[in-house]
Chains A and B, each alone.
Chain A
Amino acid sequence: MITHTKFRQLKDKGFFILICLLMSLGALPLVSILFELIRKGYKQLNIAFFTETAPSTLDAMLAAGTGDVIPGGIANGIIGTLIMVSLASAVAIPIGIMIGIYLAEKPTAIFSNIVRFVADLMQGVPSIVIGIISYAWIVCSFQSYSALAGAFALSLMMAPLIIRSTEETLKMLPPSLKEAGLALGASYTSVVLKILLPAAFGGLFTGILLSISRVTGETAPIMLTALGSSMITVDVMRPMSAVPLLIWEFYNDPNLMDMIWSCSLFLLMLILTLNIIAKFIAHRWKIQ
């Protein structure tokens, strides 16, 4: 009997060590990418990086000649990303949540099945196709590349994610919660707004953050819609830059090669932070 227990304890230990090994193996790529980005990109991360626009080739070349860090920054991209993602969120979040509520409440309705199918399909559509569609619909009809078109493309990518995460979260709530609210004579709307949504807050918020982090790094749809700009602009009807777009532009200019790394480092850190916050919130606001 004793040897048997010993053996099981040993097995447990072995299993634990195996899991630890596998886990570190899984984390290895992320850690090594991060290490590489920090090693190559940390030099550029100064105040100017966040406050100035992208440097010109000439400035970069001069700086390289004297061995200085490349002047300038990616403020135009940061502000562009901020504006476009905010615009896209402002559209995709309310619509996504409302449709998600509908799907959770009327799971078998024909409309629900169609919407669910389309949402799942949309999640699989390559982002460049979404970019093309936005180009055809928005850029062509306004006769100009614009941040608006970029935001439209991003919201098309965000909405399905939010719809599905809202639906899944609401479905996890126990039906007794809705019953308790309705049993007090509350209207359906107030049960949804004052009980179900707050109770599902953690899941909803996590879904929103993940969808934001997903579109923040999108390049292709932005390229076809917002085009990019070397200036800091806030006019949403005009072309605008974005952080991932700048990486692509820096890549095309041999003199700006160093900027790629700092820019990538910034983007990765941003997305990593969003993901960590999402995980934290999901943990804190777990549905009891």
Chain B
Amino acid sequence: MENTVNNNMIDTLITSNNVRTPLIVEDAILTFKDVCVSYAPGKNAIESVNAAVEKGKITAIMGPSGCGKSTLLRAVNRMHELYDYIKVTGEILLNDQDVLKMNAMEVRRNAGMVFQRPNPFPNMSIFDNVLAGYSLNGIKLPKAEREALVEQSLRNVVLWDEVKDLLNKKGSFLSGGQQQRLCIARAIALKPEVLLMDEPTSALDPIATNHIEELLLTLKKEFSIVIVTHNMSQAARISDNSMFMYMGELIEYDRTNTMFTNPACQKTEEYLTGRFG
């Protein structure tokens, strides 16, 4: 194991035994500096994460259940501050600005999020759900633009054909997978700079998953994507860089190719080969 670490010396920085972190990227959209998150005093759910997320690329976050993937993702768009028992420390830079010091609303508009569980607005129609980012922010679009945006967003998530005649029906009547696609449409309609996705395809069938993956590959030209996934082949298929987390720590962060073919850390290898997780 140890001697293979040298392969990627240019890209990586060896911090301690068996840990290869962080990947150095030239054009970072998102930078984590000593980020810690704790749900209870004296106990960190995320321990000192340092990493830079590359612009215009897809970054996958992997790791066993409960290792802190969602926690890390939710720190970026400041979801944690809705609960006053959660403490976030460190710096998270979005385009070189510390999100923890920016206006929360501005951060969240630039960092769209797709949650682990679908959460369409139950009082809004499918049409209004897609445009919720605009209506909630008080942005009025001309009718034609609204319709075009809804159609485009729904086509992107392969939902258009299923719902084009039901646009005025409530979003909560859709199936779980359809709801999740609606939520992705809602997030991308607002055209954020970074899209944070927490296992967006775990409720989808293979066909829809496939479409979403293709969508992500097209979307990454417009915005950077961070995606949490339990599906390793998905990470291998679509991501450019991969993070592996374990017990709240970022154990390994590297080019996806490298990580899958040649993991630096024992734990990563065990996880990737399915020996635990």
Measuring CB to CB, which residues of chain A are less than 8 angstroms from any residue of chain B?
Answer: 174-187, 190-191, 194-195, 198-199, 201, 287-288
Contacts and interface: CB of A to CB of B under 8 A. Distances in A.
Interface in B104-135: 104-110, 112-113, 115, 117, 119-123, 132-133, 135
B172 A185 contact: no
Given A179-B82, A184-B109, A195 B121 contact: yes
Nearest to B84: A108
Contacts of B104: 182
B42 interface: no
Nearest to A287: B122
Contacts of A186: 105, 133, 136-137
B113 A195 contact: no
Contacts of A187: 105, 136-137
A183 B123 CA distance: 17
B151 to A, nearest CB: 20
A198 B171 CA distance: 14
A201 B122 CA distance: 11
B135 A185 contact: no
B77 A183 contact: yes
Contacts of A176: 115, 117, 119
B123 A199 contact: yes
B190 interface: yes
B138 interface: yes
A190 B138 contact: yes
Given A179-B82, A182-B108, A186-B105, A288 B136 contact: no
Contacts, number: 75
Contacts of A191: 136
Nearest to A181: B136
Given A176-B117, A176-B119, A199-B121, A183 B136 contact: no
B79 A183 contact: yes
Contacts of B117: 176
A182 B123 CA distance: 16
B25 to A, nearest CB: 25
Contact of B115 (A180, A199, A287, A288): A180
Contacts of A288: 122, 172
B45 to A, nearest CB: 17
B55 interface: no
B23 to A, nearest CB: 27
A191 B172 CA distance: 18
Contacts of B57: none
B119 A174 contact: yes
Given A186-B136, A186-B137, A194-B135, A181 B105 contact: no
B186 interface: yes
Contacts of B120: 180
Contact of B133 (A177, A184, A195, A198): A184
Nearest to B128: A194
Most buried by A among B110, B119, B120: B119
Contacts of B135: 194
A180 to B, nearest CB: 4
A288 B121 CA distance: 10
B77 A180 contact: no
Contacts of A174: 119
B237 to A, nearest CB: 26
A128 B110 CA distance: 57
A198 B110 CA distance: 26
Given A184-B190, A186-B105, A190-B138, 15 more contacts: A177-B119, A177-B121, A180-B121, A182-B104, A183-B77, A183-B108, A183-B115, A184-B136, A184-B137, A185-B133, A186-B136, A187-B105, A195-B136, A198-B123, A201-B123
